[in-house]
Amino acid sequence: MEYKKPPPTYEAQAKLLLMRGLVADEAILIERLKSVDYYRLSGYLYTFRMIDDNGNHLDSYYPDTCFDTVWQRYNFDRQLRLIILD
C-alpha cells in the first residue's frame, strides 16, 4: 500500500498541540516529541481534552493544561511499567 500523505513533521505536531491549548515551550515540546512520539503522548493528553454538553471530546484542552504535567505522568507510568515488568 502506498501512502500519499506525508507524515507531519515534529514542528507541525508541536504547533497542533499548542493550537489546541497546550501550554508548553515549543522547543522543549519538539525535543520530547522526537524522543517519545506524538501518538504515545496523546494517550496521556486524553484526560485533558475538553468535553461538550453531550459528553463528546473536543479537539482542545482545558485552559492551563501544562505539558510538564503530561510529561510527569508519562515518566511516572514509564518507570512504573519498568518496575513491574522487571
DSSP symbols for 46-77: GGGEEE-TTSPEEEEEPTT-BHHHHHHHHHHH
Range of the domain at 37: 10-85
Q: In this structure, is residue 63 part of a structural domain?
A: yes
Angle between helices 38-45 and 67-85 (to 10 degrees): 100
Which of 38 and 2 is assigned the larger pLDDT?
38
**40: confidence class by pLDDT, cuts 50, 70, 90:** very high
Q: In this structure, is residue 77 part of a structural domain?
A: yes
Angle between helices 67-85 and 26-35 (to 10 degrees): 20
Structural domains of the chain, count: 1
Q: In this structure, is residue 55 part of a structural domain?
A: yes
Place of cell 513533521: 9
Specify the amino acid at residue 31: E
Q: In this structure, is residue 40 part of a structural domain?
A: yes
Greatest Cα pair distance, the chain, in angstroms, is: 43
Could you give the CA distance from residue 13 to residue 37 in angstroms, rounded to a whole number? 10
Which of 5 and 28 is assigned the larger pLDDT?
28
Q: In this structure, is residue 2 part of a structural domain?
A: no
Q: In this structure, is residue 66 part of a structural domain?
A: yes
Q: In this structure, is residue 72 part of a structural domain?
A: yes
Q: In this structure, is residue 1 part of a structural domain?
A: no
Which of 59 and 28 is assigned the larger pLDDT?
28
